[in-house]
Amino acid sequence: MSQKQDKFNKRRLRSSYLSVVISMTLVLFLIGLLSTVLYHSKSIANKVQENIAFTVLLKPEAKQVAVKQFQRQLELSEHVKKTEFISKEEAAEKLQADLGEDFIEFLGFNPLTDAIDIHFQAYYTQTTEAESIEKELLAVNVVQEVVYDKSLLKLLKDNLKKVSYILLLLSSVFSLIAIALINSSIRLTIYSKRFIIKTMQLVGATKSFIRKPFIWKSLQHGFIAATLSILFIELLVRYSVNLLPEIQRLHNTNAQIMLYSSILLMGLFIPWICTYFAVRKYLKLTTDELHY
C-alpha cells in the first residue's frame, strides 16, 4: 500500500513540476512575443520616419559655395541620417515625368529652385517638434522654404505612442499574471512538502540548508521554461521571416540577444523570489499551524 502511495505522490509531484514549467513557459513566451512585436513596430515606424524628407528649397541667389557648406554641416550633424542635393534641372525632369508634359516649354522658363532633401534620424523627429526643425532650417540664410508632409509625420508619432502604450500595458499585465501563476504553482508544490520542511527544521537543519534544494529546483524549472520560450520565439521569428522576407531588414541581433537575456533572467528571478518567500512562510509556522 505504501509503495502505491509513494508512486501516486511521485506522479502528483511530477505533474506539479510540469505545470510550473508549462505555466512559466507560456507566460514568458507571451511576454517575449509582445516585446518582439513592440520592437518591430517601433523599427517599422523608425524606417518610415527616416524616409520622410524635409525638402529645403534654396534661394535662387544662394552661392554654390554656401550651399555646399550648408549641406556639409547637415551631413556632419548627428541628427541627420543623409542628405541629397537636387538641382532645379533634375527637379524639372522629375516634375515633367509626373505631369506627362513639358511645363518649361509652356512657361518659357524653369520656375523651380535647387533643393536639398534632408532625412533625419528617427529619434530626432520623435523627440523634436517638426515646427522647431522647420524654424531652425529657415534661420539659415541660403534657405528659402522648407517643405515636408506634416500630417504624415504627426500621424506616425501619434500612432507609435498609442501602439507603444498598448503593448507596454499588455506586457505589464502578462508580467503580473506570470508572477501570480508561477507563485501559485510554486506555493502548491511547497505546500505538499510543508511537513518535510518542519521535520528538517525540528532535527536542527538551518533555514538556508532547508531552503537551498527548493530554490535550486525552482531555478532549474525557470531555466527550462525560459529556454523553451526563447526557442519558441526564435522558431516563430524564423517562420515569419520565411513568410515575409522583408522582416529580415528589421532584425537586430543585439536587440534579440538583449530580449533573450531578459527572458532568461526573468525565468530565473521570478521562481527564485517566489520560492524564497514560500519556504520562508512554512519555516515560520508552528507544527499545529501546518494542518490548516
- As a whole number of angstroms, the distance between CA 20 and CA 202 comes to 29
Nearest CA to 157 out of 37, 46, 35 is that of 46
CATH code: domain 53-148 is 3.30.70.3040
More confident residue, 24 or 287: 24
Mean pLDDT of 140-144: 85
- As a whole number of angstroms, the distance between CA 162 and CA 41 comes to 11
Taking the CB of residue 71, how many other CB atoms lie within 10 A of it? 19
Residues 205-232 pLDDT 10s: 787 887 888 888 888 888 998 899 999 9
Instruction: Grade residue 8 by pLDDT with cuts at 50, 70 and 90.
Output: very low
The amino acid at residue 68 is K
For the chain, the structural domain boundaries read: 2-47+156-291, 53-148
pTM, two decimal places: 0.64
Judged by DSSP in three states, 205 sits in coil
How many angstroms separate the most distant Cα atoms in the chain? 107
- As a whole number of angstroms, the distance between CA 34 and CA 227 comes to 17
Q: Which residues pair with 86 in a beta bridge?
A: 115
Q: Long-range CB contacts (< 8 A, 24+ apart) of 76-85? A: 78/121, 79/120, 79/121, 79/124, 80/118, 80/119, 80/120, 80/121, 81/50, 81/119, 81/120, 81/121, 82/119, 83/116, 83/117, 83/118, 83/119, 84/53, 84/116, 84/117, 85/114, 85/115, 85/116
Residues 13-39 pLDDT 10s: 566 667 778 878 888 888 888 877 777
Nearest CA to 45 out of 166, 149, 159 is that of 159
Could you identify the residue written with the cell 494542518? 291
